[in-house]
Amino acid sequence: MKKVSMLVASVLMACMAIADEGMWLPVLLKNNYTQMQQMGLKLTPEQLYDVNHSSLKDAVVWFNGGCTAEIISEQGLLLTNHHCGYDAITKHSTTADNILDNGFWAKSLAEEKENPGMWVSILIRMEDVSDRVNKGLAGVDPKKLDTKKAELFKTIETEAKKDNHYDATVKSFFKDNAYYLFVFEKYTDIRLVAAPPQSIGKFGGDTDNWMWPRHTADFSIFRIYANKNNQPAAYSKDNVPYKPKRFLSISTKGVKEGDYTMVYGFPGRTNRYENSYGIKLAIEKVNPAIVALRNVRLTEWKREMDKSDSVRLLLSSNYARVSNYWKYYIGQTEQLKRLKVREEKLALEKQFMEWAKNKPEYTAILPNYEKAYKDYDPYALHSTYIREGIMGSAIIANAMKYISLEKALSAEKQDPEQIKKAVDVLKTEVEEFYKRFNVAAEENILASITTMYYENISEDQLPEYMSEIVKKYKGKTNRETFEKFAKALFKKSFIVSKEQALKFIASPNLKKLKTDPAYIFAKACYTNYTERILPHIEEFDEINTREGGKYIKALMEMYPNKNFYPDANSTMRLTYGTVRIYGPKDGVDYRYYTTLNGVMEKEKPDDPEFTVPSRLKELYLKKDYGTYADNDGEMHVAFISNNDITGGNSGSPVLNGNGDLIGLAFDGNWEAMSGDIYFDSKYKRTISCDIRYVLFLIDKLGGAQNLIKEMNIVNN
């Protein structure tokens, strides 16, 4: 096991990087430095990442578990994407004070808005613990490997937590070929400072999402607060702005084609070492199912959102979250096919089999893969339908949360503490759940997803309770049957009503819970899945990880001069590349930037995705761009580079060779939607908001000169 870790480390450290491909752990970048310098980097490796002294890594934070943000002032000012702050913005929006549509600009610390539940984590250090983990796992029974691994991780993490405001996590790389410890400082008092109107921050909406050319000012601003000792603390009026070890300077020089760019951030998940079997399954089954199931929610929510502003404000965050990856999976499937990724993987596997035929430790990898996918295939769709369908129904997902309470109430010897614990969990979520729970939409969603579940999942995999539903509510069509079922459930379940739910939670009754129709259905689906389906999923996952680790190790031996980088897994990464144009198809060539002219060209006053605020039009007509205009006199809005990013990089800083902030990464492009599985150097682009457009909007549109004065703005 130790040899595997050494192999991974040597490959990572010895090989030169392709300029645009790779999400690199900062601690492993020193051997890439010469190439980075040749491309335009002016900083030393220690200025990029240093444990003992402040470095760029100290100015980049993990934002609320799904995005990235950067610190841009000595008072803990945070810049991230509008869509990353969208949930907070909508929670603070009402018909009386509609900051989602009107924008928000705090002119003083007192005006900044609290956000319970929001957090950011600042990386303290990362450490290779591969040898320790591998030593601890040596000789362990394969069936007990996951349990032992979890114990080792917990021990290492506990040791790393020097005090109660540190977080620590051990992550696996290359499917258990290497392990790293990450230690964070987590701050939970995060306040909303500014956001443009969503007509600007979300300009183009779903239509332009994942597309270039783009004209979106996808940014919002928050601030980290700490106690008087600059340590993490729960929200308090006595807290003060956080004093960072490092914050980013902001460059207004602008970019040109060929300029060096770096993106620091916390990319979520990639699967670049996926095999041909996995790609086939995604294209033919999983992705189309995800798209169809998400479309149900989007259709029903949109119908209700169009009826009133109050409903629109309440459901906007949910809609945006679901629609983003609804479109993503459409694009991923299309590009995997267009780029013939499966065919390329098959060719690689053919070469691999030829290379491995005299290597007994590797000859069984692909046959084992083939058998694992063949056994998994009948259950893959079921797993998708539970995650995106059954759990996509808000009432059923909420009903699932009562399972712990039933267990506590059903215990032969009831434990009041366990009951209280289960009740407290339910209490904490009641307010937020019912605020965004639209009965009309959710009843139709339940009818649609249960119909699809019944029609698309093999009968021998369905819960027995499904046949009872069909018998009891039998209609002329399956749709009519499940419409009757949904209507009856919504009429009789106490979980439909906030008042009834609170009444039940205040005095929980086992009989009432076990006879509630929403809970009965949720429990039936849960029990069926965990007892009959999940074991197959877990067996597949175990084989996939084991054989995947062997496969990556073997590929490294097969191609000793090739550069291998670890898949993204929500840990800090740095990518580097250049500002670069591209041509998506014959006869079409895109330039590397867009301007405010394009916003006006796209304007459609009657289309909420393309409305332009009157104040922005006024500034445009006057060409009142201040010091933020480009040398060409235009207001540049966005630009593209060939940096390698994925979900989780939203809000990441785009930096120049001096480490100054030049843009805010917010999207990828349609022609490279296969990027989580396959990096295509010809088409892959990162779409970023030009930092000068952000400053222009803060200054000229928002009138928040207080924020401009707080930043360190340079023109290098």
Q: What is the 3-state secondary structure (H, E, C) of 377-391?
A: HHHHHHHHHHHHHHH
Q: 156, 172 in Cβ contact below 8 A?
A: no
Task: Note if 650 is an active site residue.
Answer: yes
DSSP string of 268-314, one letter each residue? -B--TT--HHHHHHIIIIIHHHHHHHHHHHHHHHHHHHTT-HHHHHH
Residue-averaged pLDDT of the chain: 94
Band of pLDDT at residue 6, cut at 50, 70 and 90? very low
What letters, b where the CB count within 10 A reaches 16 and e where it falls short, cover 185-209?
bebbbbbbbbbbbbbbbbbbbbebb
Q: Report pLDDT digits (tens) over 479-521.
A: 999 999 999 999 999 999 999 999 999 999 999 999 999 999 9
475, containing H or E segment:
none
**Within-domain flag for 257:** no
Among 514, 549, 584, the domain-final residue is 549
**Within-domain flag for 386:** yes
Of the candidates 124, 121, 123, 129, which has an alpha carbon nearest to the alpha carbon of residue 172?
129
**For 30, left (φ over 0), alpha (ψ -120 to 50), or beta?**
alpha
Q: Report pLDDT digits (tens) over 126-166.
A: 999 999 999 999 999 888 888 999 999 999 999 999 766 78
Catalytic residue chosen out of the listed positions 55, 73, 83, 660? 83
Among 549, 564, 583, the domain-final residue is 549
Of the candidates 421, 398, 391, 394, which has an alpha carbon nearest to the alpha carbon of residue 408?
421
Cα-Cα end-to-end distance for the chain: 49
Catalytic residue chosen out of the listed positions 20, 176, 189, 218? 218
What is the Cα–Cα distance from 380 to 286, expressed in whole angstroms? 7
**Within-domain flag for 38:** yes
pLDDT on residue 390: 97
What does the pLDDT average to over 89-98? 95
**Within-domain flag for 91:** yes
Other beta carbons within 10 angstroms of residue 601's beta carbon come to: 11
What does the pLDDT average to over 242-267? 98
pLDDT on residue 294: 97
Q: Is residue 514 located within the same domain as residue 606?
A: no
**Within-domain flag for 562:** no
**Within-domain flag for 698:** yes
Residue 588's domain comprises 573-714
How far out from the chain centre does Cα 310 lie?
27
pLDDT on residue 1: 35
pLDDT on residue 163: 65
Q: Is residue 234 located within the same domain as residue 284?
A: no
Of the candidates 594, 671, 678, which has an alpha carbon nearest to the alpha carbon of residue 638?
594
Q: Is residue 238 located within the same domain as residue 291?
A: no
pLDDT on residue 15: 37
Q: Is residue 306 located within the same domain as residue 178?
A: no
Q: Give the count of domains, the chain.
A: 3
What does the pLDDT average to over 355-360? 94
* Tokens read off for 663: 């843009």
Q: 434, 496 in Cβ contact below 8 A?
A: no
What does the pLDDT average to over 25-45? 90
What is the Cα–Cα distance from 274 to 255, expressed in whole angstroms? 35
CA dihedral 13, 18, 23, 27 (to 10 degrees): 30
Q: Is residue 49 located within the same domain as residue 170?
A: yes
pLDDT on residue 253: 97
What is the Cα–Cα distance from 456 to 454, expressed in whole angstroms? 6
What does the pLDDT average to over 38-67? 95
Q: Is residue 460 located within the same domain as residue 353?
A: yes
How far CA 552 is from CA of 11, 467, 663, in Å, comes to: 12, 45, 35
How far out from the chain centre does Cα 583 lie?
28
Quick one: DSSP state of residue 674? T
Task: Note the pTM of the prediction, 2 decimals.
Answer: 0.93
Q: Is residue 673 located within the same domain as residue 537?
A: no
Of the candidates 52, 109, 103, which has an alpha carbon nearest to the alpha carbon of residue 75?
109
Asked whether the bond before 360 is cis by omega within 30 degrees of 0, the reply is no
Catalytic residue chosen out of the listed positions 130, 650, 674, 688? 650
What is the Cα–Cα distance from 116 to 223, expressed in whole angstroms? 13
* Tokens read off for 688: 């970023």
Half-sphere exposure in the Cβ direction for 605 (13 Å, CA): 2
Q: 212, 257 in Cβ contact below 8 A?
A: no
The amino acid that residue 455 corresponds to is E
What is the share, in percent, of the chain residues with pLDDT greater than 90? Answer: 91
Is the pLDDT at 24 greater than 80? The verdict is: yes
Specify the residue for token string 């040596």: 138
Least confident of 2-6, 121-125, 527-531, 560-564: 2-6
How far CA 6 is from CA of 131, 140, 301, 559, in Å, comes to: 9, 21, 52, 16
Q: Is residue 52 located within the same domain as residue 178?
A: yes
Q: Is residue 475 located within the same domain as residue 540?
A: yes
Task: Note if 83 is an active site residue.
Answer: yes
What is the Cα–Cα distance from 245 to 224, expressed in whole angstroms? 13
What does the pLDDT average to over 642-654? 97
Q: Is residue 328 located within the same domain as residue 431?
A: yes
Q: Report pLDDT digits (tens) over 178-204.
A: 999 999 999 999 999 999 999 999 999
Least confident of 17-31, 111-125, 224-238: 17-31
Is the pLDDT at 561 greater than 90? The verdict is: no
Here the CATH number for the domain that contains residue 705 is: 2.40.10
Burial of 353 (0-12, 13-18, 19+ CB in 10 A): middle
What is the Cα–Cα distance from 168 to 570, expressed in whole angstroms? 13
**Within-domain flag for 324:** yes
Q: Report pLDDT digits (tens) over 199-221.
A: 999 999 999 999 999 999 999 99
Q: Which residues pair with 194 in a beta bridge?
A: 105, 221
Least confident of 45-49, 163-167, 484-488, 581-585: 163-167
Q: Is residue 179 located within the same domain as residue 83?
A: yes
**Within-domain flag for 466:** yes
Kindly give, in sequence order, each residue whose CB lies less than 8 Å from that of residue 654, ignoring residues fewer than 6 positions away: 261, 262, 263, 641, 643, 661, 662, 663, 664, 665, 686, 688
How many residues belong to the chain?
Answer: 716
Of the candidates 573, 570, 678, which has an alpha carbon nearest to the alpha carbon of residue 274?
678
Q: Report pLDDT digits (tens) over 436-467.
A: 999 999 999 999 999 999 999 999 999 999 99
Q: Is residue 521 located within the same domain as residue 656?
A: no
Other beta carbons within 10 angstroms of residue 476's beta carbon come to: 7
pLDDT on residue 438: 96
367, containing H or E segment:
helix 365-384
Among 479, 514, 549, the domain-final residue is 549
